[in-house]
Structure 1
Amino acid sequence: MFKKLVKNERGLTLIELLAVVVILGIIAAIAIPAIGGMINNSRIDAHISNAKTIANAARLSVAAEATPIPTNGVVITLEDLIDDGLLEEIDDPSTNGNYTSTGTTQTRVTVTQGTGEVIYRVQLVTGAHSYVVAADGQTAIPNADDLERENIDLP
């Protein structure tokens, strides 16, 4: 009787094994793009956070100067903020380097006087790529406080 029970116990059939493999393939096809999207969103959020950090350092710089903002605005570079001890080099989450802090095209904050508020527009630059772009229908980069994911252009 024991031999009869052992003979009737079989492993997985080929059809059952194939069904498991197909189900796992479907799950992988759904999960991989979702994970890729989460990674991109986290990079974009890191760029927005970095832009806000740079804008806050520019706020400190403007407050320390205690001079009125000229009508055409003032540009504060990342190099200026680092030299003043308000920031350290900031890692670029999309590359293995830092945002550009030297040269003619570098990360900068344009500070202008708006109606009842001071506007800080941050342009994040790495090499030839500029991350923060103007929103659709706008000619200027948005205020750092108003940055959204669609304002960030990943290379």
Structure 2
Amino acid sequence: MDKALLLRVLDGEQAAIEQFGDSDNCAVIDWRDGLLELIAAVEPFLPKGYLRSEAKDGGFLLHAGGRGSSPIEVQLKTRQEDLIASLNRALCPDFEIRQFTPMTGDGYSLFVAPASFWQDVERSHSVAVQKYFLSAERLAAYWRKGYFARLFSKP
């Protein structure tokens, strides 16, 4: 994680914002990507071997970290935003995924960071975090709304 670049983003520097959403800093996924592509995009931002998946009856079980917590079950035919939220639940409480909102388009730039990082940066830059980053759960909740409800609301 390039903390100097992130601080420039949080200060609203346009050049830093444009640079931050690329694949060096965020997991970049296309709108067509499914769970396996999402995992492949997120894995480089996690410790080696931290995230594991296993096939199970038309879906996958996601295991994260070395703890004995229950795996998260994910069906293959799931909306992409719900896949992101499920992956985020698997990574919690150690890591958290948030969408980097300035890079919204046909895909997403997802910033993966330790939960302790998010707590610290929310204390020091709460307004900027709300402006530039959207939690996986809020992203999924927004896309669960109907078309007209999304027209009149923000994520």
Q: Return the structure number with greater relative CO, CA threshold 8 A, min gap 6.
A: 2
TM-score when normalising by structure 1 = 0.28
Instruction: Say which one has the larger Rg.
Output: 1
TM-score normalised by L of structure 2? 0.28
Of Structure 1 and Structure 2, which has the larger fraction of its residues in strand? 2
